[in-house]
């Protein structure tokens, strides 16, 4: 789900 | 992927253009201090994860420091203008009249409603993503009120707009290659690009064809 997303973009 | 790299390079280019514009011309005509302050806020709230030391890559970390550092530096350069070129500073303040409370309030609310997790870090991240999407508005407002801008200023705005526009094919790429769908970034990225669309059109019609930037 969305919660698992890491913020690997700038 | 190629879109992501081009986007980040475009973002870097926009900042270099802006710094060179201010340093060389020693004036800040047509540049919105409010937009620049909003970017400081955007980067400081987005990159709070630097403090957790859960770094994704060296590239990511270096870029984050670069964006925070240069955004603060730009604001400092603009503030210095108060002493070195008071005429230019006063003129800028006179035109930079957009009320940013109308951006900060709604962005804070949107962050409370749309976020991935109700934690300080995630709320700040969401706030920054919403705020970035509208941070250019004081700048565009200033531009539309004065009706024209120096070519360098328009190159700056173009490169800055291009960066988020290039993130869109990057997200499509990532959806197909990694099955990654980051809804908040995508929605705010589309919003941000839409806000630039009018500017892109005029930039294409005028500046790319060698004419100065002047609003119809």
Phi, psi of B70 (to 5 degrees): -70, -35
CB contact under 8 A, B4 and A9: yes
- Contact present, B50 and A2 (Cβ < 8 Å): no
The C-alpha atoms of residue B1 and residue B105 are separated, in whole angstroms, by 35
Question: CA–CA distance from B31 to each of B16, B154, B160 (Å)?
Answer: 14, 10, 13
Question: CA–CA distance from B9 to each of B2, B83, B136, B162, B163 (Å)?
Answer: 10, 33, 19, 10, 8
pLDDT at B206: 82
pLDDT at A5: 67
Backbone CA torsion sign across B174, B177, B182, B186 = positive
Mean pLDDT, rounded, of chain B: 94
Residue in chain A closest to B170 (alpha carbons) equals: A9
pLDDT at B209: 81
Question: Which tens digit of pLDDT belongs to each residue from B106-121?
Answer: 999 999 999 999 999 9
Mean pLDDT within B36-64: 94
- How close, in Å, is residue B211 to chain A by CA atoms? 33
Residue in chain A closest to B43 (alpha carbons) equals: A10
Question: Which tens digit of pLDDT belongs to each residue from B161-213?
Answer: 999 999 999 999 999 999 999 999 999 999 999 999 999 999 998 877 888 88
Q: Show the DSSP H helices in chain B as ranges.
A: 2-25, 33-46, 58-84, 86-95, 101-113, 120-134, 137-146, 151-178, 183-205
Mean pLDDT within B137-147: 93
- Contact present, B85 and B26 (Cβ < 8 Å): yes
Which of A3, A5, A8 is opposite residue B60, by nearest beta carbon?
Answer: A8
- How close, in Å, is residue B105 to chain A by CA atoms? 23
Q: Residue B187 CA to chain centroid, in angstroms?
A: 16
- Contact present, B83 and B28 (Cβ < 8 Å): no
């Amino acid at each position: 789900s969305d919660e698992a997303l890491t913020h690997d973009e700038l | 992927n190629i879109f992501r790299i081009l986007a980040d390079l475009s973002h870097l280019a926009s900042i270099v253009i802006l710094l060179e514009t201010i340093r060389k011309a020693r004036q800040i005509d047509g540049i919105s201090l409010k937009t620049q302050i909003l970017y400081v806020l955007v980067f400081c709230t987005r990159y709070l994860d630097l403090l957790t030391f859960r770094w994704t890559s060296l590239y990511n970390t270096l870029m984050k420091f670069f964006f925070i550092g240069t955004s603060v530096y730009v604001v400092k350069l603009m503030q210095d203008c108060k002493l070195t070129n008071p005429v230019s500073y006063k003129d800028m303040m006179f035109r930079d009249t957009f009320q940013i409370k109308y951006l900060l309030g709604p962005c804070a609310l949107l962050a409370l409603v749309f976020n991935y997790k109700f934690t300080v870090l995630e709320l700040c991240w969401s706030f920054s993503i919403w705020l970035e999407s509208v941070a250019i508005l004081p700048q565009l407002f200033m531009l539309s009120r004065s009706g024209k801008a120096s070519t360098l200023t328009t190159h700056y705005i173009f490169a800055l707009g291009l960066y988020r526009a290039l993130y869109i094919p990057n997200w499509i790429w990532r959806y197909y290659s990694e099955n990654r769908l980051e809804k908040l970034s995508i929605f705010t990225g589309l919003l941000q690009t839409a806000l630039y669309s009018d500017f892109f059109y005029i930039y294409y019609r005028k500046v790319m064809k060698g004419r100065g930037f002047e609003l119809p």
